[in-house]
Amino acid sequence: MRSLVIIALFVASGWLGGGVRAWGADGEIARPKIGAEIANLQFKDIRYLSRSLNDFGEKRAIVLVFTNTTCPLVRKYWPKLNRLQEQFQGQGVQFVSVNVGADDEIQDVAQQAIDFAVEFPCVKDTDGSCVSSVGVERTPQTVILDGQRRLRYRGRIDDQLRIGGTRPDVLHDDLKLALDDLLAGREPATAETTVDGCRITLPQPPRPQSPVTFYEQIMPIVQKHCQECHHPGGQAPFSLMTLDEVSSHAKMIAEVVADRRMPPWYAHRRHPFVNERGLSSDERSQIAAWVDSGLPTGDASKAPPPRTFADGKWEIGEPDLVTTALETHSLPADGFVDYRYTILPYVFLEDTWISAAEILPSNPAVVHHCNMAYFAIGGKFNEGNFITGRVPGGTAMVLDDGIALRIPRGSVVGLQIHYTTSGKPEKNRMSVGFRFPRGTVHKELHHLQVTTSRFAIPPGAAAHPVTSSRTLPQDATGIGMFSHMHLRGKDMTFVAHAPKSDPETLLSIPNYHFGWQQNYRWRPGDKKFAAGTRIEVVAHFDNSPFNPFNPDPTATVRHGPQTVQEMMFGFFFYTNTNEDLNLAIDPQTGRAASTQSAPPIRSTGDP
């Protein structure tokens, strides 16, 4: 007999009463009977990928937990579910949570796992198909399927927690007893029980008040949220500047917008940032309605003026200083490429102040990411003197007025380059552009690298924790944060432990994605930290087989530069609150007015 497949489905998306969607002509859900064979359930994981029951492989048991983030009984039952998972995983049982909250984003699903220390996979039933397939109506309702995907049990977890109150002890431990019976090869003694809890409200299709057309409703949304990247020469792989371009990608746009996958934003929205991206509910509904109604064009005369973008290749604008590597790197067609290092042919003869910096490859398609740092002439690349990086989904470093980064006299700049192969031999040559401050510099940019290399992620671990912390040496004004992990990185949280104060969560990235490494910036001057505040970073790594990007779930994973290894870096950027340098900077050289000496080298190399 094939492995037992046990699916515990917690399904919630509404409170008792309220507007419940009708399930059929008679108002009742079409419920499969006990013993019925259930089709392969499909859902999306926290990485927005479509998955199914088949992705869990040959487990003796798979426990899917269908949840939302608002039902009180779901929240109260998480500790017991965690205990059941711990108890049964050694017997080949896999628990999985399936969220069906109509208003819950996939990011909310991932954040809930952090909040309740859930180590088993969490997925999203985006269309209600899992609910309908197994015939659940309330939370906390559970369903057990056997190895042939036949429905063997449908009911509660136990009889302790009820909507009206809580029993001191469990009298009927229904889910556990059913699991015990099935694992022992017996029929569950009780095949179905009643369930208290929250009624399920499935997602409703959008119903805009008026017809939605491209020129009047959709083009303004695309201009506001998409064209920043999706324009000729932008970071995105295709343009969305015209009706034809948007129409040819319409169904994909509707899908990624409905998932909240685009525009990309991986910080949980409970923590506000000035550079936050995202569409409103009304904007998402309009896009869905436009696609569903056949992409009506509308009146072109009512279209907004076209959005324009600078023709230059530099995101920071035309640099004041450009330096280009003397060497061109040759890359193979396939395989892993060890990190390449290059020192740029420019010496900073005096302290130089930088207000913007950008790394520019000649062949961006082969550069996954690149770090830039300064170090003394004759020295080696030093990540501790980090300047900025180029990462997927990231932006160039542009500092606020009055803030600048200082490159010490006698320094050179080096690059650490992570290349990816493209299927054919490639070449690349790196350039770097700097802009100097216009006006007075009052604050020097500082940062903490909250990191550790002392970890070993066990084989199969679904949420292995790695923690590090650093302490602020002075009163600080926060600028923002940035995280870096590799393919097993699952989530990262930044917490401030101020002296004699409760911990404050600054940032949670619940569904970290190696392909979208963004920075998260506060509004200037908003975040203040006392000297001695400890900045703690907690990361979790998913080395389980269910991680679709995992190179090898059987390996013990340690720190290393390649993507098959791991890194744990949390960057915290700040200025000294009490500092006022009051430096007048020469915009031609980047030097303070009192330190002018040798004439500047305007550009080196041949970009």
Please check whether residue 309 lies inside any domain of the structure: no
Task: Assess whether 181 and 254 both reside in one domain.
Answer: no
Asked if 430 and 340 touch (Cβ cutoff 8 Å), the reply is no
Residues 199 and 289 in one domain: no
Among 13-17, 159-163, 315-319, the range scoring the smallest mean pLDDT is 13-17
Task: Tell me: do 123 and 52 sit in the same domain.
Answer: yes
Cis peptide before 459 (omega within 30 of 0): no
Co-location of 438 and 453 in the same domain: no
12 against 330, higher pLDDT: 330
Q: Do 354 and 405 fall within a single domain?
A: yes
Residues 380 and 365 in one domain: yes
Query: Are residue 199 and residue 230 in the same domain, yes or no?
Result: no
Q: Is the peptide bond before 306 cis (omega within 30 degrees of 0)?
A: no
* Predicted pLDDT of residue 1: 39
% of the chain surpassing 90 pLDDT = 71
Tell me what pLDDT residue 292 has. Answer: 92
Residue with tokens 């000294």: 576
CA distance 517 to 265: 9
The answer, as to whether pTM is greater than 0.85, is: yes
Instruction: Flag whether 326 is in a domain.
Output: yes
Alpha-carbon span 328 to 429, nearest angstrom: 5
Question: How does DSSP classify residue 256?
Answer: H
In a domain, 592, yes or no: no
The CATH number of the domain holding residue 171 is: 3.40.30.10
| Range with lowest mean pLDDT among 12-21, 118-127, 191-200, 409-418 | 12-21
177, 203, 229 — which closes off a domain?
203
| 524 shares a domain with 460 | yes
Lowest mean pLDDT among 176-180, 232-236, 334-338, 510-514: 232-236
Q: 296 vs 229, which has greater pLDDT?
A: 296
Question: Above 90 in pLDDT, residue 233?
Answer: no
pLDDT tens-digit readout, 83-109? 999 999 989 888 889 898 988 999 999
170 and 23 both lie in a single domain: yes
* pLDDT greater than 60 at residue 11: no
The pLDDT, as a whole number, for residue 139 is 78
pLDDT at 422 exceeding the cut of 60: yes
On average, the pLDDT of the chain sits at 89
The two beta strands, 439-441 and 583-585, are: antiparallel
Among the candidates 302, 337, 361, a domain finishes at 302
pLDDT at position 594 is 59
Using alpha carbons, select from 55, 57, 43 the residue that is nearest to residue 147: 57
Q: Are residues 250 and 173 in the same domain?
A: no
Residue 8 clears pLDDT 50, i.e. is over it: no
Query: Per DSSP, what are the bridge partners of residue 122?
Result: 97
> 97, 111 in Cβ contact below 8 A?
no
**3-state SS, residue 245:** helix
Residues 248 and 255: their CA atoms lie apart, in Å, by: 14
Is 32 within a domain?
A: yes
- Give the domain extent around 244: 214-302
Task: Round to whole Å and give the CA distance between 314 and 398.
Answer: 12
Place of tokens 């037992």: 4
Mean pLDDT of 409-416: 95
The predicted structure's pLDDT at residue 72: 93
Number of domains in the chain: 4
Q: Is residue 586 part of a domain?
A: no
pLDDT 10s digits, 578-588: 999 999 999 99
Answer yes or no: do 59 and 117 share one domain.
Answer: yes
The verdict on residue 606 lying in a domain is no
**How far, rounded to the nearest angstrom, does the alpha carbon of residue 84 sit from its chain's CA centroid?**
28
Label residue 310 by pLDDT band (50, 70, 90): confident
Residue 464 lies in a domain: yes
pLDDT score for 67: 85
**Residues forming a β-bridge with 154:** 143, 192
Last residue of a domain, one of 173, 203, 233: 203
pLDDT (mean) for 302-309:
93
Tens-digit pLDDT profile for residues 27-82:
455 689 999 998 899 999 999 999 999 998 887 777 777 789 999 999 999 999 99
Which is more confidently placed, 205 or 350?
350
Do 44 and 136 fall within a single domain?
A: yes
Q: Residue 367 and residue 585: Cα distance in Å, rounded?
A: 33
CATH number at residue 326: 2.60.120.310
CATH number, domain at 519? 2.60.120.230
Q: What is the DSSP string of 74-113?
A: HHHHHHHHHHHHHHHGGGTEEEEEEE--TT--HHHHHHHH
Chain segment 520-579, per-residue pLDDT in tens: 999 999 999 999 999 999 999 999 999 999 999 999 999 998 889 999 999 999 999 999
- In a domain, residue 600? The reply is no
What is the reported pLDDT for 598? 44
Euclidean distance between CA atoms 288 and 115, whole angstroms = 31
Q: Return the closest-CA partner of residue 107 out of 163, 44, 192.
A: 44
Q: What pLDDT, in 10s, does the model give residues 203-214? A: 777 677 789 999
